[in-house]
Structure 1
Amino acid sequence: MRKVVIPANLAPPQDWLTEAQTLTQALMAATTDEEREVVIGQHEKLWRDDRVRNWLLERFNNKCWYTEAQESVSAYHVDHYRPKGRVSDVEKLNPEPGYWWLAFDWRNYRICGQLINVKKSDVFPLVSGHRASATMAGSLALEAPALIDPTTDDARLISFEMDEDGCRAVPAPGADDEDCKRVKATIEVIGLNRLDRLNAKRAEVWKDCHEQLAKYTSASGAPAALKKLMRAMAIEALKKRVCYESEFSSVAEACVRKSGTLLQQAQVFG
């Protein structure tokens, strides 16, 4: 997984923000769950609006924020990272009220492939502690979600490796026991390894990077000028694979870090 970077000075178009803020105020003014459900139900088109949807897509070069796939999984949805309706744990037991006050808050939105979003549904487990509340200021910052958020540095906790079934998501090397549990919960909740096509697409990137690393190594026996050219071309190809805009860049990075020499890593990431 790759962290999606949204600079602090950027926000969706102001006309969309104005509508969203008005609806959030209406939600906060509602006195019953039924009233809030009506507000959300009547205006659900707002988070699917192209003004915000296209703005979010541009932030990550039209990639799913959870998988880094560009139309390799399914159509794109605007996912509520914290579910707006009811929420449940991984076993889908013990449902609780959702984060209704975030229904029109773009900071709770994540671009997500349809099949990933359907799998995620309203599951949002916590590591421990209490859920945030609309009436408790700062409670979101104190909450401990198990589901890894692609807009945070925790995205690096999910890495990849090859096996007989393709390229699969795994905990990053060095992750402690608690973080490994979070990674495994995230893989399960959003189905990072359940789609054969997704595993295969990631495998293609991994194999290409592995081939570039091999080309770099095989250049050792070539004449000096050719050796320099072959290595430069391999490094250039790898740099393109790991750059922020590329599809499955986190897979490419994992391959270089796990299969490349220290010199190759320094040249790709330096």
Structure 2
Amino acid sequence: MKYIPLRESKKEELEAWLNKSNEILAEMKLETNPKKRRAIIHRNKSHWRNDDLLNYLKKLSDGKCWYTEARFVAEYPQLEHFRPKSCARDEDWKKCHDGYWWLAFDIENYRVSKPMPNVKKGTYFPLREPAMAVCDPDVAITRESPLFLDPVNQGDAELISFNALGQPEPCPEPAVDLCEWDKRRIEFSIKRYGLDNTELCDRRKELWVAIESMISEYATNAKRATHNDCKISKGKAEQLIIQLKKYLEPSQEFTSLISACFLSNKVGKALYPKLLTQLLAA
């Protein structure tokens, strides 16, 4: 999972879309009948399928799923409501909330997803303290503590890492030691976002093997270039650096796994900050 700066992003180009969202919200707030309110949402569902909106959100992740970091290719990206708009369910699939209807057209409640994470997440939305669930649009949702990790929360995105088998796991070196709640959130999010999907793990493993092999080849050639003054090895090492740097570009798939791969290797760990600095300076 990679951090998506949705809240900090400038949204001027979506001014017309945002104005329409405010109009729909105002209409819903005036409607006290839940069934009629749901009808308003249904009638305006094309609003969150707006192409300009989807393209804007896709750009924030360089055209990748916000949950899996897999690139959108042929399939149509799905717009997922992080807080379910119609009803929310706990870990046991029991209904625990009538839904965050006032967030149905709130851009900050949207996450762009591949079909699998969207379907697996469904209307699950357990909270650490169910009694703190927000049921009123005038109450701040920040009082809630969701069980799901959220890609628009940088601290959440950094809690998940990957191993050499391409499997998701808790971050091995968190800034603060993980508590039991953190571990529950990681385990639940991996399962309900489908991050442990076999095909995804295989693709990530293949990428890990390729990067690790390239780092090893670089180390061999760099050593020969230094100790034996070998010009051919120096040239190979320089070419490998160029290739390794491309893996760190934000547009690459599975950047979280790529970072984990570099940092798990002594040579890769030394190269990682240097290559990132070069990318930022370019």
Please say whether Structure 1 and Structure 2 have the same fold, judged by a TM-score greater than 0.5: yes
User: After the TM superposition, which parts of structure 1 deviate over 4 Å for at least 4 consecutive aligned residues?
Assistant: none
- Deviation track 1:23-76 (CA, whole Å, cap 9, x = no partner) reads 111111110211111001111111111121111111211110111111369541
What does residue 265 of structure 2 align with? 259
Relative to structure 1, is the Cα distance of residues 11 and 231 closer, same or farther in structure 2, using a 3 angstrom cutoff?
Answer: farther
Per the TM alignment, residue 142 of structure 1 is displaced from its structure 2 partner at its CA by 1.6
TM-score, normalised with respect to structure 1: 0.90
Answer whether contact 1:74 1:115 (CA < 8 A) is retained: no
The answer for the alignment partner of 1:52 in structure 2 is 53
Would the alpha carbon gap of residues 11 and 124 (structure 1) be closer, same or farther in structure 2, given more than 3 Å must change?
Answer: farther
Task: Flag the 1:141–1:118 CA change in 2: closer, same or farther, 3 A.
Answer: same
Contact 1:210/1:255 (CA < 8 Å) preserved in 2?
Answer: yes
* In structure 1, distance between residues paired with 2:105 and 2:13: 12
CA pair 73-50 structure 1, distance change in 2 beyond 3 A: closer
| Structure 1 residue 150, shift from structure 2 partner | 0.7
Find the counterpart in structure 1 of residue 161 from structure 2.
159
Q: Secondary structure of the residue that 1:170 maps to in structure 2?
A: strand
Matched, 1:187 2:190: yes
In structure 2, stretches of 5+ residues that fail to align are 278-282
Structure 1 residue identity aligned to 2:106: D
Residue 104 of structure 1 and its aligned partner are, at CA, apart by 0.4
Instruction: Quote the Cα distance in structure 2 between the aligned partners of 1:114 and 1:266.
Output: 34
Amino acid across the alignment from 1:125: P
TM-score between the two structures when normalised by the length of structure 2: 0.86
* Corresponding residue SS for 2:21: helix
Check conservation: 2:88, 2:124, Cα contact below 8 A.
yes
Provide structure 1 residue ranges, at least 5 long, that are not aligned to the other structure: none
Q: Deviations over 1:5-31 (max 9, x none)?
A: 244433552221121111111111110
Task: Output the aligned Cα RMSD.
Answer: 2.0
TM-aligned CA deviation for residue 247 of structure 1: 1.3
Secondary structure of the equivalent of 2:62? coil
Displacement of 1:268 in angstroms is 3.1
The answer to whether the Cα contact below 8 Å between 2:102 and 2:137 also exists between their aligned partners in 1 is no
Comparing 96-105 with 5-14, which one deviates more in the overlay? Answer: 5-14
Comparing 230-239 and 107-116, the one that deviates more: 230-239
Q: CA deviation at 1:108?
A: 0.6
Matches within 5 A, 1:1-150: 1-6=1-6, 7-11=8-12, 13-71=14-72, 75-128=76-129, 130-137=132-139, 139-150=140-151
1:233 aligned partner, one-letter code: Q
Q: Percent identity?
A: 28
Find the partner of 2:240 among 231, 234, 244. 234
Match for residue 215 of structure 1? 217
Cα pair 2:87 2:95 within 8 Å, conserved: no
